[in-house]
C-alpha cells in the first residue's frame, strides 16, 4: 500500500462522516457496493444473528465456541461499546488500526465511485467483510444492526445458520408496532436451505418465524426451555483470580459456566449452543469440549458487567422494557435485598417510562444523565419522568432521591458518592453512555 495513501487518512472519521449518517434502509446500495468489492462475504461461512435482546451476548458465545474449535473467526457487532474497533473482531481481538486502514481504503475506493454513496452502517458492514477476508477468516458471526430484512448485513446470500434471539417491541417507528410485524422484519434474514435456530418466542412471533422458515425450506430448531436448568452463582478460578461465574446445564451439557452474570445469560448461551450444534450438523468440527470452553471464555462488555468496586459498580446495556425487566431480575439474584443507586440515561424514542416503572422500586437514588446521542432525552426531563413514576408507586416503593448531572463524568462521581464504599451502583439505559462511563471510572481510579 502506497505510503501517500495512508498519510492523513483516518478510517474512523471517514466512516463517521456526518453526511453519510442518515439511515436509509434498503439493500440496493450495499448489494452494489459488495458486488464491486467482489462479494467478500461469500468467502465466509456465516452465522447471522437477529433479535431484540441478547443478540450481542449470543454472538459472543458463538464466536467463542468457533475460536475454541480452532476456526479463525470474525465477529461484527454494533454499536461499539468502548471504542470504534470493538465492532470488528478477529479471533476475539479488536481489529488493529493497520487492518482497519487497509479494509477502509479498499471500501472507500469503490464507495466514492457510486452515485448513491453508501450510508455509515453500509460502509461499516462492507469494511467488516473486507477485513475478515483480508485476515483469512474461515467463518464469521454477524449481528444484525436494525431489524433484519432490510438491514445492510442481509446482503448475505447463503448463511449457514440464521439465529433469532428473543423478539420484543423496539424501534416500532421503523419495524412495526406489533411483535408479529417486528418478527416478520427479523425473520427476513432467513435464507433458502439455511438452518434456523430460535430462542423461545411469544406465540405471535413464533408463528411468523415458523411460516418464514417453512416457505424457504429452512429447518428450524427451538431452544428447549425445559432442558435448561436453574442457574446458580459460584466462584471459579481463572488466570489465577477468583471470579463469579453463573453455572447451569442445558440438554446434554452439564455444569456449563459463564462469566456473564445476568440471569438471562443461560438462555443466550443455550441459543448459542443450538446454533453451534446446527453448525456441527452442517460439517463444522465443533466438539462438546469446544462448546463448553467457548461458553466459559466468552466476554461481552456492558451486559450486567461488574466494572469497579468500593462501591460495586455495574454497567448494563439494557435499553428497553424487556432489558429493564431482566436487569431487575439479575440485581435481585446477584445482590439480594440490596437497594441500588441507579445512574441512568435514555434515548427519547425508547419506551423509557415502561423501563423506569420496573427499576424504580429497587432504587434508593437516581442520578440522571444525558447520553451522547442526538436522540437522547435530557437529564432534566428524565428526572421529571422518574419523579412522576415514583409518586404513583405504593408507599415505600417510590421513595427515591433524584439528582441531575451536567455530564456523564460528574454523574459517575455523584453516583459513587451517594452509594459510598459498601454500596451498589448500576448504570443502565443506553449503550451509548458506556464508553464515557468507563473513561470516567478510570479517571477516578476506580
Q: What is the pLDDT of residue 301?
A: 86
Q: What is the mean pLDDT of residues 375-401?
A: 89
Question: Could you read off the pLDDT of 317-362 as tens digits, one per residue?
Answer: 888 888 899 899 999 988 999 999 999 999 998 889 999 999 999 9
396 φ, ψ to 5°? 95, -25
Q: What is the mean pLDDT of the chain?
A: 91
Task: Out of 156-165, 294-303, 305-314, give the one with best mean pLDDT.
Answer: 156-165
Q: What is the pLDDT of residue 370?
A: 97
Q: DSSP secondary structure string, 47-107?
A: EEEE-SSSHHHHHHHHHHHHHHTT--EEEE-SS-SSSGGGGEEETTEEPPHHHHHHHHHHH
Q: What angle do CA 154, 158, 161 make, to 5 degrees?
A: 85
Q: How many residues does the chain have?
A: 446
The DSSP secondary-structure symbol of 334 reads H
Distance CA 33, CA 41 (A): 12
Q: What is the mean pLDDT of residues 394-412?
A: 88
Lowest mean pLDDT among 58-62, 302-306, 341-345: 302-306
C-alpha cell of 61? 458465545
- pLDDT above 60 for 7: no
Q: DSSP secondary structure string, 136-193?
A: T-SEEEEE-SSSSTTSGGGG-SS-SEEEE----S-SHHHH-SSHHHHHHHHGGG--TT
Task: Specify whether the CB–CB gap between 364 and 330 falls below 8 A.
Answer: no
Question: Could you read off the pLDDT of 99-128 as tens digits, one per residue?
Answer: 999 999 999 999 999 999 999 999 999 999
Binning pLDDT at 50, 70 and 90, where does residue 26 land? Answer: confident
Name the residue with higher pLDDT: 3 or 271: 271
Q: What is the pLDDT of residue 316?
A: 92
Q: What is the mean pLDDT of residues 383-395?
A: 90
- pLDDT above 80 for 8: no
Q: What is the pLDDT of residue 1?
A: 45
Name the residue with higher pLDDT: 301 or 411: 411
Task: Specify whether the CB–CB gap between 198 and 267 falls below 8 A.
Answer: no
Q: What is the helix (H) or strand (E) element at residue 404, kind and residue range?
A: strand 401-404
| Percentage helix, strand, coil for the chain under 3-state DSSP, each rounded to 5 | 45, 20, 35
Task: Specify whether the CB–CB gap between 389 and 359 falls below 8 A.
Answer: no
Task: Specify whether the CB–CB gap between 372 and 397 falls below 8 A.
Answer: no
Q: What percentage of the chain reaches a pLDDT higher than 70?
A: 93
Q: What is the pLDDT of residue 431?
A: 84
Q: Of 101, 126, 138, 144, nearest to 30 (Cα)?
A: 126
Q: Of 214, 242, 216, 247, nearest to 229 (Cα)?
A: 247
Q: Of 380, 193, 117, nearest to 126 (Cα)?
A: 117
Q: What is the pLDDT of residue 303?
A: 86
C-alpha cell of 113? 465511485
Question: Could you read off the pLDDT of 164-214 as tens digits, one per residue?
Answer: 999 987 665 666 679 899 999 999 999 999 999 999 999 999 999 999 999
Q: Radius of gyration (Cα) for the chain, nearest Å?
A: 22
Question: Could you read off the pLDDT of 420-434 as tens digits, one per residue?
Answer: 988 999 999 988 899
* Furthest CA-CA distance within the chain: 69
Alpha carbon 91 to its chain centroid, in Å, reads 18
**377-389 core/surface letters (b: 16 or more CB in 10 A; e: else):** bebebbbebbeeb
Name the residue with higher pLDDT: 394 or 289: 289
Taking residue 27's Cβ as centre, other Cβ atoms within 10 Å add up to 16
Task: Out of 66-70, 315-319, 390-394, give the one with best mean pLDDT.
Answer: 66-70
- pLDDT above 90 for 394: no
Task: Based on DSSP, count helices (H) and strands (E) in the chain, helices before strands.
Answer: 16, 17
Task: Specify whether the CB–CB gap between 83 and 140 falls below 8 A.
Answer: no
Amino acid at each position: 500500500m502506497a505510503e501517500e495513501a495512508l498519510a492523513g487518512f483516518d478510517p474512523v472519521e471517514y466512516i463517521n462522516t456526518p453526511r453519510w449518517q442518515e439511515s436509509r434502509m434498503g439493500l440496493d446500495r450495499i448489494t452494489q457496493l459488495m458486488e464491486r468489492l467482489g462479494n467478500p462475504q461469500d468467502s465466509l461461512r456465516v452465522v447471522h444473528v437477529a433479535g431484540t435482546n441478547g443478540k450481542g451476548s449470543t454472538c459472543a458465545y458463538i464466536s467463542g465456541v468457533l475460536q475454541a474449535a480452532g476456526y479463525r473467526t470474525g465477529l461484527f457487532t454494533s454499536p461499539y461499546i468502548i471504542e470504534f474497533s470493538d465492532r470488528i473482531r478477529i479471533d476475539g481481538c479488536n481489529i488493529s488500526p493497520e487492518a482497519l486502514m487497509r479494509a477502509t481504503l479498499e471500501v472507500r475506493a469503490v464507495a466514492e465511485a457510486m452515485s448513491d454513496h453508501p450510508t455509515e452502517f453500509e460502509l461499516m458492514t462492507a469494511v467488516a467483510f473486507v477485513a475478515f477476508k483480508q485476515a483469512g477468516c474461515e467463518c464469521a458471526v454477524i449481528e444484525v444492526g436494525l431489524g433484519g430484512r432490510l438491514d445492510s448485513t442481509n446482503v448475505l446470500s447463503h448463511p449457514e445458520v440464521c439465529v433469532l434471539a428473543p423478539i420484543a417491541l423496539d424501534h416500532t417507528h421503523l419495524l412495526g408496532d406489533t411483535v408479529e410485524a417486528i418478527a416478520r422484519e427479523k425473520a427476513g434474514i432467513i435464507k433458502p436451505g439455511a438452518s434456523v435456530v430460535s430462542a423461545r418466542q411469544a406465540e405471535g412471533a413464533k408463528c411468523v418465524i415458523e411460516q418464514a422458515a417453512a416457505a424457504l425450506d429452512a429447518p428450524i430448531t427451538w431452544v428447549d426451555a425445559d432442558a435448561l436448568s436453574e442457574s446458580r452463582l459460584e466462584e471459579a478460578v481463572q488466570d489465577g483470580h477468583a471470579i463469579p461465574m453463573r453455572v447451569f446445564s442445558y440438554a446434554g451439557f452439564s455444569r456449563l459456566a459463564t462469566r456473564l452474570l445476568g440471569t438471562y445469560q443461560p438462555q443466550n448461551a443455550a441459543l448459542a449452543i443450538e446454533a453451534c450444534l446446527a453448525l456441527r450438523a452442517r460439517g463444522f468440527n465443533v466438539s462438546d469440549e469446544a462448546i463448553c470452553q467457548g461458553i466459559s471464555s466468552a466476554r461481552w462488555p456492558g451486559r450486567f458487567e461488574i466494572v469497579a468496586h468500593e462501591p460495586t459498580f455495574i454497567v448494563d446495556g439494557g435499553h428497553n422494557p424487556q432489558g429493564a425487566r431482566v436487569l431487575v431480575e439479575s440485581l435481585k439474584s446477584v445482590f439480594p435485598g440490596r437497594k441500588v443507586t441507579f445512574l441512568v440515561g435514555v434515548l427519547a424514542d425508547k419506551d423509557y417510562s415502561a423501563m423506569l416503572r420496573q427499576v424504580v422500586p429497587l432504587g434508593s437514588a437516581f442520578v440522571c444523565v444525558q447520553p451522547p446521542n442526538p436522540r437522547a432525552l435530557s437529564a432534566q426531563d428524565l428526572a421529571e419522568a422518574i419523579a412522576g413514576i415514583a409518586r404513583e408507586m405504593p408507599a415505600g416503593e417510590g421513595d427515591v432521591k433524584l439528582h441531575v448531572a451536567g455530564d456523564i463524568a460528574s454523574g459517575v462521581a455523584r453516583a459513587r458518592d451517594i452509594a459510598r464504599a459498601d454500596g451498589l451502583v448500576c448504570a443502565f439505559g443506553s449503550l451509548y453512555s458506556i464508553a464515557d462511563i468507563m473513561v470516567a471510572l478510570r479517571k477516578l481510579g476506580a
